[in-house]
Amino acid sequence: MGPIIILDKSSLQSLSKDEILVLNKYYMVNIVPVLAMEILADLKKGDDTDEARKKTVILSNKLLSSSLTVNTNFKDLIESSLMGHTVGMDGRPVLSGGQPVQTEDGRKGFIFKESLEEKAIMRWHENDFSKAEMFLADKWRETSKSIDLVEFKKELKKLNKNTPKLDSLEEVNNFIDKLLDDFGQQRKLLELIICEFKLENKNTPIFYNWTLNGELKIKDYAPYAYYCFKISIFFNLALMNDLITERSTNRIDLQYLYYLPHCYVFSSGDNLHRSLVPFFLRSDQLFVDGNDLKKDLASIVSRRGFLDKKELADWDDKYHLTPPDDNPCSLTLNLWKGFMAYDRVKGRKSKKKASKRIKKSHQEHLMKL
């Protein structure tokens, strides 16, 4: 299993069937709920229902693999975070519904049942769409169409007349860090987070748990909720200062950023992601342009396609666990070297000094292009 990767819809759509096979072979794909909803929403795109179904089936086929993993919805994770529970932010997917088990020899672990999203994707693969899913697709598209960032931007400017003009995304980032770090405003900050993510019905238990824990700074008490709120405020300030466009789908695309803590690699061909994602990555994460990912996977498919039957068997035997090492410029190879402490002879090793190794490997990859 390779580096954990999240793809947005643009990156997924660009990949062919063979490229998807290579992706699933050398990466662990973490599917996020917003991607599943964007795919489902295609059911209501245009007037040709049969054609829309075909497109949805094609995309759901791309999601199907032996390593199918669907992350828990960010809204549930924010609520859990605000209640004082730990939400993992170390690059691993966060899954719901795990049941603790113990083997006969004493080993402990968890069994995860198929999530609703996983079951739905399996049905879409078979061209089976429930009435509830059709209704959900309709509502999702209605909501998407109703987003008016032009008007929203005007309202933001009215409400924030005293906010200083910010001329770059770097200035936005620095301004927010100082603003949210004011200890005297932490109660107000918690109120704003609850309001932003529409958790008013949980207001009393959230404040009770926060008080019980000593009214810590929100970034220490609920790191994941703080992280997501910072993303939301960052988007608003960037929009207000004309640093991003008013394209309505930007609000939907923003949701992918809430899942960044649950991967090592995020791939997208979206301009909003290219601009904002770098500000929210850990030192041991990378943003990979969707075009670069496709080009690399296509290269692996192409090199494999020139082999005869015997050569193909030898290739599959040699590279069934780790990516091909016959092209030093390969993005996938260099990501493995960075994230997996790649060693052809010894196989995978433990991750040590990951962030330095990842940066070095990625820089070497870029220099070879």
Instruction: Give me the residue spans of the domains in the chain.
Output: 4-144+289-322, 148-247
pLDDT of 67 over the 70 cut: no
Of the candidates 84, 70, 157, the one whose C-alpha atom is nearest the C-alpha of residue 121 is 70
> Which carries the bigger pLDDT value, residue 367 or residue 84?
84
The residue with greater pLDDT, 37 or 330, is 330
Q: Which residues have C-beta within 8 Å of that of residue 233, sequence separation ≥ 6?
A: 176, 180
Q: Taking 70 as the threshold, does the pLDDT of residue 348 lie above it?
A: no
Split at pLDDT 50, 70, 90, the class of 159 is confident
State the helix-helix crossing angle for 186-196 and 223-240, rounded to 10 degrees. 80
Q: Could you give the CA distance from residue 62 to residue 55 in angstroms, rounded to a whole number?
A: 11
Residue 97: per-residue pLDDT: 56
Q: Rounded CA gap, 70 and 221, in Å? A: 26
Determine the pLDDT at residue 38.
Answer: 80
> Which residues, 6 or more positions from 67, have their beta carbon under 8 angstroms from its beta carbon?
1, 24, 28, 29
- Tell me: the pLDDT tens digits for 180-239? 887 678 999 999 999 999 999 999 999 999 999 999 999 999 999 999 999 999 999 999
Q: Which residue has the higher pLDDT, 315 or 117?
A: 315
Phi and psi for 289 in degrees, rounded to 5? -60, 135
Please report the pLDDT score of residue 332 as a whole number.
94
Whole-angstrom CA distances from 84 to 42, 182, 194 are 37, 20, 14
In this model, does residue 49 exceed pLDDT 60? no
The pLDDT of residue 282 is above 50: yes
CA distance 219 to 205: 18
The predicted structure's pLDDT at residue 306: 86
Distance CA 196, CA 258 (A): 14
What are the distances in angstroms from CA 46 to CA 52, 96, 132, 150?
A: 8, 34, 19, 25
Query: Please, what is the average pLDDT of the chain?
Result: 81
Integer Cα distance of 74 and 85 in angstroms: 14
What confidence tens digit (pLDDT) does each residue in 98-107 have?
Answer: 444 445 666 5
- The pTM (predicted TM-score) of the whole model is 0.82
Residue 110: the pLDDT is 41
Per-residue pLDDT tens over the stretch 80-121:
999 999 999 999 999 875 444 445 666 544 444 555 565 665
